[in-house]
Amino acid sequence: MRVVHLLPLSPTIASLAIASLAIAVPLGAQTPAPPSASPAARPPAAPFVKTEAEAVVAALATQLEANFVFPEAGKDYAAMLRSKLAAGGYAQFADSEAFAKAVTADLQAVHKDGHLALHPPRTDAGGMRQMRRGPPDTNAITKSGWLADGIAYIDFAGFPGNEATLAALKSFIAAHQDAKTLIIDARNHHGGGLAEMDVMFPQLFAKPTVLVDMDTRVAVEQRGGDPLGDAMLRKVPGPEGVVRREHYVVPAAHQGALAKAKVYLLVSHDTGSAGEHLSLALKRTHRATLIGQTTRGMGNYGGMEPLGFGYAAFIPVGRTFDPDTGVGWEGTGVAPDVAVPADQALDKALQLAGVKVSGDVALASLK
């Protein structure tokens, strides 16, 4: 089992890092990474079947009670679902998608959580049900290169952790080791895991550094072991009921100029999940200047839990936070250091870097 910061399917990215709390499904939190199909190309929603819905709600209640990051909230969710189910509240919907939206709205009305949602099945051309796909092995780096002399730029749609993205990132780092300024564009970053960060950070930090802390509900670990499975996490003492790990970085043995480069991270209201993990890690360590808007506010990591009949739910099992303050970004987001509209963030970064051209002009001549 592997859990991550994960963002629900977005208009621009279909990056489900699918993980299960009880049943291993190929891989968030904490998400993304090719463009999703156009609405016209999407397969139709599966029909609603009352007996299936009843079984799905019952299974979801059990999973939330057993695994949700905050035990009392998990009990609240479960109690609401069971009560409404017993009252016949999930007896009739136009299709499976309408049912899933109603359940998700009911859950959010109990306690808001940026990731928690029920996802419906879809049907293929032959009428067979399908669960949501995991991230294809495509490169989630949408643009990269030199914006100007000494200024490197890389734009991520997410951190799917796949071979294509990691290989492209390593090539980018090797080709831009001499950069005096690095601009990381996360304005359309919709989530994923830690692998890309673990490739970048050793090149950016000159000394060993703790980035953020991550608390996983102990009951989840007791049933399935370490759900995070990342080499750059280590256990540290934590409160009762959670297993605490800190995400840390060890500098690379052979570093280029990136260890001393000025780093600007572009963020927006659409920056979510693992993109926010990146944001908090770079902000609290003062390794980057964040430019743009406050991020989306999805801070509890978890995984997709199959519930039967093609339905699945993203269930958060842990939270990520600043070890200095104990505060994460769930519901609030990560605030920028320099607040500007998202579409002006690259302009501002170039201005701060001493480049007298607009972001559009610089991107048009990206080398």
Report the C-alpha dihedral over residues 224, 228, 233, 235, rounded to 10 degrees.
Answer: -30
Instruction: Examine the pLDDT at 7 and tell me if it is beyond 50.
Output: no
What's the distance, CA 128 to chain centroid?
29
Q: Phi, psi at residue 21, to the nearest 5°? A: -85, -20
Is the distance from CB of 309 to CB of 129 less than 8 angstroms?
A: yes
Q: Phi, psi at residue 364, to the nearest 5°? A: -65, -25
Instruction: Examine the pLDDT at 13 and tell me if it is beyond 60.
Output: no
pLDDT tens across 237-296, in order?
A: 999 999 999 999 999 998 888 999 999 999 999 999 999 999 999 999 999 999 999 999
Among candidate residues 65, 134, 49, 43, the one with its CA nearest the CA of residue 100: 49
| pLDDT band of 201, cuts 50, 70, 90 | very high
Whole-number Å distance between alpha carbons of 331 and 11: 21
- The CA-to-CA distance between both ends of the chain, in Å, stands at 40
Is the distance from CB of 213 to CB of 239 less than 8 angstroms?
A: no
pTM beyond 0.85: yes
- Mean pLDDT throughout 306-329? 96
Report the pLDDT value the prediction gives residue 228, as an integer from 0 to 100. Answer: 86
Report the pLDDT value the prediction gives residue 93, as an integer from 0 to 100. Answer: 98
DSSP string, 244-270: EEEEEE---SS--GGGTSEEEEEE-TT
Among candidate residues 122, 110, 45, 121, the one with its CA nearest the CA of residue 77: 110
Three-state DSSP string of 140-207: CEEEEEEEECCEEEEEECCECCCHHHHHHHHHHHHHCCCCCEEEEECCCCCEECCHHHHHHHHHHCCC
Six token digits for residue 255 = 């570093």
Whole-number Å distance between alpha carbons of 333 and 271: 9
Six token digits for residue 348 = 């501002």
Q: Where are the alpha helices (DSSP H) in the chain?
A: 50-67, 71-86, 96-110, 163-175, 195-204, 218-224, 274-284, 345-352, 359-364
Structural domains present in the chain: 141-299+335-364 (3.90.226.10)
- Three-state DSSP class for residue 294: coil
Instruction: Examine the pLDDT at 133 and tell me if it is beyond 50.
Output: yes
